[in-house]
Every structure is written in structure tokens, then in C-alpha cells.
């Protein structure tokens, strides 16, 4: 989907569709008022007849409005004007994208970015609109035999800004929004990938591809089980003993600040590509969702992709702690005592409490980077 920004009055727009807001109770936004004026009150007359109240989620698609160059006008309910906050704005954009897609509009000029959102400027509104649009249109169907495509998918969205002085800021907002959206999509794709494909080796391959794509600033190192043993990462290794898939820790280093004094921010992502619970096995109901136990690592990967795309002037290290918790003849057991990388001993009471065992060794490992901050990301216990 293509995004762009422009500055212009609504009556001069020649597009498949113009999108404007309506507030409760039946109050036209400033841009909608301009369209109403050139249409000799056509829109306000519809509101007086009760066609649209302006409540959140309401829509009204108008065709061939008098004196308007665009084919259609989409009125979007925005709720009460004084209550339009960040959350409500995102919902309005989401409803807009879904409606345009459902009605077969292939392109549109959106004036919703000119609505007043508490504490937010036009840069934020454009960037958030791009992120929300990409999120709304997201689907994971690459493994389906038969893929269903929209009849006429939305392909182009133009966001209007009040003045030409804000075009540069708007273009930057689109660039940033696309980078953030791409990172979110990458994380979602990893999370949705089935565990017979997405194992620790698959995570490592994605980390290597990231380094290949952004070789100027990114390097990736993959640490296998042999090196983990040499490092003393026995807790991490124990979790993966029951699996036939090797445990692999992928370390992605992004360097955007060449200063020798610049300390990195370290992100650690739990990457249990499937968590059966091990010997303390989980109930079968809902176990298929345990493929999502690697979403911490997926989130870290998405952030690293975004950071590299934006070329941020900071140093960031992302660690994808990949492994699989399975029962088996080599699996660790309740009652085992493990010596962690830090030298502390830990007694295992439940093999389904594996996340802390993986993360404790990884958190010890990342101390070598002397980080400015460490953030670990993991799915909650289930």
C-alpha cells in the first residue's frame, strides 16, 4: 500500500474518495463544513435527517455529492470532539481503512489527520495513521493453499496536512510509520509461524538475514550448544535437552553511534519456539498456542529491524534466546539441580517454569556488553 502527503483544500481534490470526520451530535468537522458549503448544504441536510449521528464507528458513504470533484465522500463518526484522544483516533483510522477496503475504494484522500487530538501534532497523526493502516490490513496467509484477496484492495492513501510547511514533516512521518509497521509485521509473522518451521534455527536464520540486509550497521552472531556449555549456560541448555532441535542464541548488534563511550541498550527476548511444559507437561487444550512462547524474541527481532531501518543514532543489542521445551529421554526433570552461568545453583520443581532458566543465563551473558539498560521481553506464564 502506498502512502503520501499533500496540502490542499477538499473542494479541489479529484479522487476516488475523500474521508472527513463528523462529531457527535451531528457536528461536521471543519473540513466537512467546507465540503458542505460547496455542496449547498447537501451533507448537513443528510445529518439533520438522522443519516449519521457522529458516534464512534459510524460511517456513511456518499456518492456524487453536488459540486464535489471526487466520486465519493466517506463520513466517519469520531465521537465527541473534546474526547478525541490517541486511542479514539486510532480506532477512527482503523474503521476508515476497513470501510474503504470493504467498499472497493482503491485510493482515498484522508483529512482525518487534520482533526485535533489532545497533545499530538500533525507528525504524530500521520505516522500513527500509517501504522494503524498497516496493522489493520495485516494478515498471515502465506501458508494457506488458497489465499483470498479483496476484490479491489485499497492501494493508495493520501494524508492531507494543513499547510505546505508541514509536508516535509508529513513525509518523514510516513517513512517512520512504515519502518515501525514493518518491524511490527516482522514480529507478528514470526509469532504466527508454526513451530515445525519456526524453531531456534529459523530464528537464527532470520537474525542472519537482518545482518545481510543492513550490513552497514548490523552484525549477527549465533551461539550454539557447544559454546553455551563452554560459557556455563547450563540452565538455558537444560530447558532444550528434551528437544531434537538445537538451542541457539542469536545476538544481533546494531551500531548507530560510533563513539567509544556509547553504551548499548540490550534487549533480551524469550524465544521458546514451542513450550510443551516438558516433563511437567501442559494440558492438551490450548497447547497449540504454546508456539507463541517465542513472542518475546519476535518482539525483539521486530524492534531491531525497525532500529536498523530508521538508522537511529544509538547502539542496540538484541538477543533472541531460542530453544524448545519438550519431554523426552534427555529432558530435564523436576528435582534436578542446575548450576547457572552466574554460578548459582537452582533446584527445578516444575519444568514448565522454563522461562526464568533461559533468561537468567542470557541476562548474565549480556553483562559483558556493559549496557546502559537491559530490557527483557517474555510472554506471561500460561
Active centre residues (catalytic): 282, 356
3-state SS assignment for residue 2: strand
What does the alpha-carbon distance between residue 214 and residue 311 come to, in Å, rounded to a whole number? 10
Residue whose C-alpha is closest to residue 367's, from 221, 297, 254, 263: 263
Pairing of strands 337-339, 373-377: unpaired
Residue whose C-alpha is closest to residue 180's, from 371, 322, 3, 57: 3
Residue whose C-alpha is closest to residue 239's, from 321, 159, 175: 321
Q: How many residues can be counted in the chain?
A: 382
3-state SS assignment for residue 158: strand
Whether residue 271 contacts residue 323, with contact meaning beta carbons closer than 8 Å, is answered with: yes
Q: Which long-range contacts (CB under 8 A, 24 or more apart) does 357-360 make?
A: 357/235, 357/236, 357/238, 357/239, 358/235, 358/236, 358/239, 358/270, 358/272, 358/321, 358/323, 359/268, 359/270, 359/321, 360/235
**258: CB partners within 8 A, 6+ apart:** none
3-state SS assignment for residue 127: helix
Q: Which three cell numbers stand for residue 52?
A: 449519521
What does the alpha-carbon distance between residue 65 and residue 32 come to, in Å, rounded to a whole number? 12
Please give the helix or strand (H or E) that residue 31 lies within, else none: helix 30-38
Residue in this structure with the C-alpha cell 453536488, named with its chain if needed: 66
What does the alpha-carbon distance between residue 58 and residue 45 come to, in Å, rounded to a whole number? 17
Please give the helix or strand (H or E) that residue 75 lies within, else none: strand 72-77
Residue whose C-alpha is closest to residue 362's, from 223, 175, 193: 223
Amino acid at each position: 500500500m502506498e502512502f503520501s502527503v499533500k496540502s490542499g483544500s477538499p473542494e479541489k481534490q479529484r479522487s476516488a474518495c475523500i474521508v472527513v470526520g463528523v462529531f457527535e451530535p451531528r457536528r461536521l468537522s471543519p473540513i466537512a463544513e467546507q465540503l458542505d458549503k460547496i455542496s449547498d448544504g447537501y451533507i448537513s441536510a443528510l445529518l439533520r435527517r438522522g443519516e449519521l449521528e457522529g458516534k464512534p464507528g459510524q460511517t456513511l458513504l456518499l456518492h456524487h455529492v453536488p459540486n464535489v470533484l471526487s466520486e465519493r465522500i466517506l463520513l466517519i463518526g469520531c465521537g465527541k470532539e473534546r474526547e478525541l484522544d490517541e486511542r479514539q483516533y486510532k480506532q477512527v483510522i482503523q474503521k476508515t481503512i476497513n470501510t474503504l477496503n470493504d467498499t472497493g475504494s482503491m485510493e482515498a484522500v484522508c483529512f482525518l489527520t487534520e482533526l485535533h487530538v489532545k497533545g499530538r501534532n500533525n507528525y504524530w497523526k500521520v505516522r500513527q495513521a500509517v501504522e494503524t493502516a498497516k496493522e489493520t490490513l495485516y494478515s498471515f496467509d502465506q501458508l494457506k493453499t488458497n489465499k483470498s484477496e479483496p476484490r479491489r484492495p485499497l492501494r493508495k492513501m493520501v494524508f492531507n496536512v494543513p499547510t505546505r510547511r508541514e509536508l516535509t514533516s508529513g513525509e518523514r512521518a510516513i517513512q517512520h510509520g512504515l519502518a515501525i509497521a514493518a518491524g511490527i509485521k516482522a514480529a507478528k509473522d514470526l509469532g504466527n509461524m508454526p513451530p515445525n518451521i519456526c524453531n531456534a534455527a529459523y530464528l537464527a536464520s532470520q537474525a542472519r538475514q537482518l545482518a545481510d540486509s543492513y550490513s552497514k550497521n548490523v552484525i549477527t552472531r549465533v551461539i550454539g550448544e557447544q559454546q553455551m556449555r563452554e560459557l556455563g549456560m547450563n540452565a538455558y541448555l537444560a530447558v532444550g535437552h528434551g528437544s531434537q532441535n538445537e538451542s541457539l542464541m542469536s545476538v544481533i548488534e546494531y551500531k548507530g553511534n560510533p563513539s567509544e563511550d556509547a553504551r548499548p541498550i540490550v534487549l533480551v527476548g524469550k524465544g521458546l519456539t514451542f513450550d510443551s511444559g516438558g516433563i511437567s507437561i501442559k494440558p492438551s487444550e490450548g497447547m497449540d498456542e504454546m508456539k507463541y512462547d517465542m513472542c518475546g524474541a519476535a518482539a525483539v527481532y521486530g524492534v531491531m529491524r525497525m532500529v536498523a531501518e530508521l538508522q537511529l543514532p544509538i547502539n542496540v543489542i538484541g538477543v533472541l534466546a531460542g530453544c524448545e521445551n519438550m519431554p523426552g529421554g534427555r529432558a530435564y526433570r523436576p528435582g534436578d539441580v542446575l548450576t547457572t552461568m552466574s554460578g548459582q545453583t537452582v533446584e527445578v520443581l516444575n519444568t514448565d517454569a522454563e522461562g526464568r532458566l533461559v533468561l537468567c543465563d542470557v541476562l548474565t551473558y549480556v553483562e559483558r556488553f556493559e549496557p546502559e539498560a537491559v530490557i527483557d521481553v517474555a510472554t506471561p506464564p500460561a
